[in-house]
Chain A
């Protein structure tokens, strides 16, 4: 019986293949191995969003836990609708307006890709969905900077506008085949999985938003303790797991590049956490769970742009350097007094910039040799550093300016900063009419 079914299946598949080849003589075929891994990666990246919700949710006060977790889930909802509608066309369509952004009418509602198999041997649907998860998590990262004090409606409008006006253009410049940063220098600005596109753009926006909206009521005089570090640790763990899809999926392959990306991702996360823990032992005498979670994130953020070009020793170095600099940045935040509540800039912005620049010194020799072969007179580390700095500088400047504009518009029209009364009651009550941690209730 089983044999019969498998024979008929094989026959059906053969018929489909014959049909496929007959229909388009030079059609690219799907590679099942690559497609399987990319489907898995797509799911893994989405797993990072509830991970982020738990990470951030545990860090805020009890009265804001639902409101904060909803910031992540709202990104799944809002960007989940926007991305297939227009986001994919804006990011990966051919450049318009002088390459400022992409646009392809056929990509509206993903209509034009129903039968497309990409040159990487995966259906374009898989690629579009994989990239969609990146578009979802990026605005959710920003929410850490203005936690505990934003209007939910204002937030929804802000992330929608931000995704269209900031994420899509930067994504187009860095990752689309005709993007100008993708083609800067002999082998492009290196951003393997989203150092500039995801972490620097969201981190810088986070800083701008924290400054624009002002500190939470009572900050920094009142200490605001995390409501649930257990949940934060679980969130950090989910982020680490999901990051294997984020980085190792970004090769859009299932081969040596994937293995390299996965290995350096693992090493940088561990090195980041290890370094943060050692710093805390030296500085305070105790290693904290939040320190370990922050170190994991710092390492993962720093390796994100670099996962395609550095070797394990470089990954170790990047994780360690990122932790040291992020730790200093968060100490500096305390001195400067701005309220980046959950350190979205301190970890993602700073870690992303450190990764995107410092990776230059750890590029594997074969990559540099290929780059050198492409230009007369060779290509040096310092020249690549210039390319990296250009990409970082453009991302920082663009994200900062446009985000400030969007924040201003949303604040003046819908309102982004909530009133004092609502802030004291907490987001859960004032924005959602619910409360988290319901188990405290006996019935």
Chain B
């Protein structure tokens, strides 16, 4: 089991959500967060040195069984990209997940996802 955490641009949320549903990945948690990546790249391009400001982002948390990791990641990459890819399109983190429990039934492990 893996926990996939994706940080994407807010305007791509519906694109990603719909693409995931099309790919049969239907369980998802969405939160609004703020953050920044290597924004100094952009600031340097403008010829000024400023501390990067926090920008609104959307965070997706998706728990999947191992065989679904690739399809999930590929789907997010395809749907979250602006055009051929722009700075700020986001990141995906994959972490091993120890346990998953469905509160209603007390099921544990892969079937609970």
| Interface of A toward B, CB cutoff 8 Å | 63, 421, 424-426, 429-430, 435, 440-443
Does B34 belong to the interface (CB within 8 Å)?
yes
In the complex, chain A residues whose CB is within 8 Å of the CB of B13: 63
In whole angstroms, how far apart are the Cα atoms of A435 and B53 in the complex? 16
In the complex, chain A residues whose CB is within 8 Å of the CB of B53: 443
| Interface of B toward A, CB cutoff 8 Å | 10-15, 18, 32, 34, 53-56
Given contacts A435-B56, A443-B54, whether A430 and B11 have CB atoms under 8 Å apart is: yes
User: Contact: A441 with B54, CB < 8 Å?
Assistant: yes
In the complex, chain A residues whose CB is within 8 Å of the CB of B54: 441-443
In the complex, chain B residues whose CB is within 8 Å of the CB of A430: 11
In whole angstroms, how far apart are the Cα atoms of A441 and B32 in the complex? 9
5 closest A-B pairs by CB: A425-B11, A429-B11, A424-B14, A443-B54, A442-B34
Given contacts A424-B15, A441-B56, A442-B54, whether A435 and B10 have CB atoms under 8 Å apart is: yes
- Nearest-CB residue, chain A, relative to B14: A424
In whole angstroms, how far apart are the Cα atoms of A168 and B15 in the complex? 42
In the complex, chain B residues whose CB is within 8 Å of the CB of A429: 10-11
Given contacts A440-B56, A441-B56, A442-B54, whether A425 and B12 have CB atoms under 8 Å apart is: yes
User: Contact: A443 with B34, CB < 8 Å?
Assistant: yes
Q: How far is the CB of B83 from chain A (nearest CB, A)?
A: 11
Enumerate 17 A-B pairs (CB-CB under 8 Å) in ascending A order: A63-B10, A63-B14, A421-B15, A424-B14, A424-B15, A424-B18, A425-B12, A425-B14, A425-B15, A429-B10, A429-B11, A435-B56, A440-B34, A440-B56, A441-B55, A441-B56, A443-B54
In whole angstroms, how far apart are the Cα atoms of A426 and B10 in the complex? 10
- Nearest-CB residue, chain B, relative to A61: B14
Q: How far is the CB of B108 from chain A (nearest CB, A)?
A: 32
In whole angstroms, how far apart are the Cα atoms of A442 and B54 in the complex? 7
Q: How far is the CB of B54 from chain A (nearest CB, A)?
A: 5
Q: How far is the CB of B3 from chain A (nearest CB, A)?
A: 24
In whole angstroms, how far apart are the Cα atoms of A441 and B15 in the complex? 22
Give the interface centre of B11, B32, B54, B56 by most chain A CB atoms within 10 Å.
Answer: B11
Q: How far is the CB of B79 from chain A (nearest CB, A)?
A: 10
In whole angstroms, how far apart are the Cα atoms of A421 and B53 in the complex? 27
Q: How far is the CB of A391 from chain B (nearest CB, A)?
A: 44
In the complex, chain A residues whose CB is within 8 Å of the CB of B15: 421, 424-425
- Nearest-CB residue, chain B, relative to A421: B15
In whole angstroms, how far apart are the Cα atoms of A264 and B95 in the complex? 65
In whole angstroms, how far apart are the Cα atoms of A95 and B43 in the complex? 61
User: Contact: A441 with B11, CB < 8 Å?
Assistant: no
In the complex, chain B residues whose CB is within 8 Å of the CB of A440: 32, 34, 56
In whole angstroms, how far apart are the Cα atoms of A440 and B13 in the complex? 16
User: Contact: A63 with B34, CB < 8 Å?
Assistant: no
- Nearest-CB residue, chain B, relative to A425: B11
In whole angstroms, how far apart are the Cα atoms of A365 and B3 in the complex? 75
Q: A63-B14, A425-B12 provided; 9 other pairs, C-beta below 8 A?
A: A63-B11, A63-B13, A424-B14, A426-B11, A429-B11, A435-B56, A440-B56, A441-B54, A441-B55
